[in-house]
């Protein structure tokens, strides 16, 4: 079973947390910090598995993670999951994000919290793998987008949180169809090219 799915950036800022077991809100934050601490001090190109931190069950659980550009994707799983299987699942997740957001980058995760959750929900449910077929997932998400469009009242604002909607930040770097690649790290695509490779 997958106990938790965490995404945080190179500085430990959480970008997504999804717990499939009950932890208090404080514990959740501590787990994120602990996990960041464990994962971030590891070199690149060591192995992608390590024993879980104390808070999330210690050696009975494994952390399986991948590092893409500015983000760490960490799955905390128990012994009933296949390590390599989960590693591939992370890849499917990121590739799906990449398809849905076109060159996904950290900013997308900040401004589309709900979308990321919805995509994840198509893949993992209650801690178990629901669907692994990327086309199927993308089809579902497209269908959702269509319904969203059809439901948007005419004349009202389209839901487009990148335009300074979320938290009314000072306007984020302009980014619509084409994302500037070098503006800030936040805009760095997670997957270097459309070929979906990652270093290893």
Applying the rule CB under 8 A, the residues between 110 and 149 that interact with other proteins are: 110, 113-114, 117-118, 121, 125-136, 140, 143-144, 147-148
Backbone dihedral angles phi then psi of residue 79, each to the nearest 5 degrees: -75, -5
> Considering the rule CB under 8 A, would residue 162 count as an interface residue with other proteins?
no
CB of 40 to other proteins, least distance (A): 12
Q: Which stretch binds other proteins (CB under 8 A): 69-77, 96-104, 157-165, 175-183?
A: 157-165
> Looking only at residues 177 through 196 of this chain, which bind other proteins when binding is defined by CB under 8 A?
186, 196
Q: At which residue do the structure tokens 């965490």 appear? A: 6
Do 74 and 63 meet the contact criterion of CB atoms below 8 Å apart? yes
CB of 178 to other proteins, least distance (A): 22
> Considering the rule CB under 8 A, would residue 164 count as an interface residue with other proteins?
no
CA 87, CA 2: separation in Å to the nearest integer? Answer: 12
Q: Which residue from 40, 42, 78, 192 is in contact with other proteins, where contact means CB under 8 A?
A: 42
Do 56 and 4 meet the contact criterion of CB atoms below 8 Å apart? yes
Say how many CA atoms lie within 13 Å of 38 toward its Cβ: 25
CB of 166 to other proteins, least distance (A): 6
| b (16+ CB within 10 A) / e for 131-157 | eeeeeebbebbeeeeeeeeeeeeeeee
> Considering the rule CB under 8 A, would residue 27 count as an interface residue with other proteins?
no
CB of 23 to other proteins, least distance (A): 11
> Considering the rule CB under 8 A, would residue 44 count as an interface residue with other proteins?
no
Do 172 and 182 meet the contact criterion of CB atoms below 8 Å apart? no
Q: Which residue from 11, 154, 177, 182 is in contact with other proteins, where contact means CB under 8 A?
A: 11
CB of 75 to other proteins, least distance (A): 14
Backbone dihedral angles phi then psi of residue 109, each to the nearest 5 degrees: -70, -30
CB of 176 to other proteins, least distance (A): 19
Q: Which residue from 3, 4, 5, 15 is in contact with other proteins, where contact means CB under 8 A?
A: 15
What is the DSSP secondary structure assignment for residue 105, as one 8-state letter? B
């Amino acid at each position: 079973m997958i106990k938790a799915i965490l995404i945080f950036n190179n500085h430990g800022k959480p970008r997504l947390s999804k717990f499939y077991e009950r932890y208090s809100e404080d514990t959740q934050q501590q787990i994120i910090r602990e996990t960041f601490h464990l994962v971030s001090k590891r070199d690149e190109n060591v192995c992608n598995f390590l024993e879980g931190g104390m808070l999330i069950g210690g050696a009975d659980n494994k952390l399986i993670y991948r590092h893409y550009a500015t983000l760490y994707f960490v799955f905390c799983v128990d012994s009933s999951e296949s390590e390599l299987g989960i590693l591939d699942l992370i890849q499917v997740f990121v590739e799906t994000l990449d398809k849905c957001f076109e060159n996904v980058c950290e900013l997308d995760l900040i401004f589309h919290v709900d979308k990321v959750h919805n995509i994840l929900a198509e893949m993992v449910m209650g801690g178990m793998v629901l669907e692994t077929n990327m086309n199927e997932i993308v089809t579902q998400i497209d269908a959702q987008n269509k319904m969203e469009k059809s439901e948007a009242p005419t004349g009202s604002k389209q839901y487009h949180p990148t335009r300074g909607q979320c938290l009314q930040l000072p306007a984020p770097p302009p980014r619509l169809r084409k994302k500037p690649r070098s503006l800030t790290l936040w805009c760095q695509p997670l997957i270097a090219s459309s070929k979906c490779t990652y270093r290893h």
